[in-house]
C-alpha cells in the first residue's frame, strides 16, 4: 500500500558531488534552451526582414475608374444605446 508519508519526506541529495553535477547539468540544459531560443528568434526576425525586402510592391497609382461611389446615412440619434 502507498503511504502518504512517503510523498512528504524530503529526498534531497546528500552527496555534495552529485548535487554539484546535477546543478551543472541543469545550468547546461538551461543555457542550451536559452541559446536555442535566441537562434530561433534571430532566424524569425531575419526571415521576416528578408521577406519584406523581397516582396515589396510598387505603389499602384489610383485610377479614376477604381473609385467606388456610395451613399451613407446616419441611423438613430447618434447616442450609443446600451442594451439593458
pTM of this prediction?
0.52
Q: What pLDDT sits at residue 74?
A: 76
Residues 19 and 13 sit within 8 Å (Cβ to Cβ)? yes
Is pLDDT at 80 greater than 90 in this prediction? Answer: no
* Number of residues in the chain: 84
Longest dimension (CA), the chain: 85
Total number of domains in the chain: 1
Quick check: 15 pLDDT over 70?
A: yes
Does residue 64 fall inside a structural domain? no
Give CA–CA dist 25/33, Å, rounded: 12
Q: Let me know if residue 45 belongs to a domain.
A: yes
Most confident of 4-8, 9-13, 23-27: 23-27
Compute the average pLDDT of residues 23-52: 97
pLDDT at 33 over 70: yes
User: Which range marks the domain in which residue 28 is found?
Assistant: 12-56
**Per the domain annotation, does 72 fall within a domain?**
no
In a domain, 51, yes or no: yes
Extract the C-alpha cell encoding 34.
536559452
Query: Is 17 within the bounds of a domain?
Result: yes
Give the residue with greater pLDDT, 73 vs 25.
Answer: 25
| Residue 81 within any structural domain of the chain | no
Domain assignment present for residue 63? The answer is no
Write 8-14 long-range contacts (CB < 8 A, 24+).
Answer: none
Amino acid at each position: 500500500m502507498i503511504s502518504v508519508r512517503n510523498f512528504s519526506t524530503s529526498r534531497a541529495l546528500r552527496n555534495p558531488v552529485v548535487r554539484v553535477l546535477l546543478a551543472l547539468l541543469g545550468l547546461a540544459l538551461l543555457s542550451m534552451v536559452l541559446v536555442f531560443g535566441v537562434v530561433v528568434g534571430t532566424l524569425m526576425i531575419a526571415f521576416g526582414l528578408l521577406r519584406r525586402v523581397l516582396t515589396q510592391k510598387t505603389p499602384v497609382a489610383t485610377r479614376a475608374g477604381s473609385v467606388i461611389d456610395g451613399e451613407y446615412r446616419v441611423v438613430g440619434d447618434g447616442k450609443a444605446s446600451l442594451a439593458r
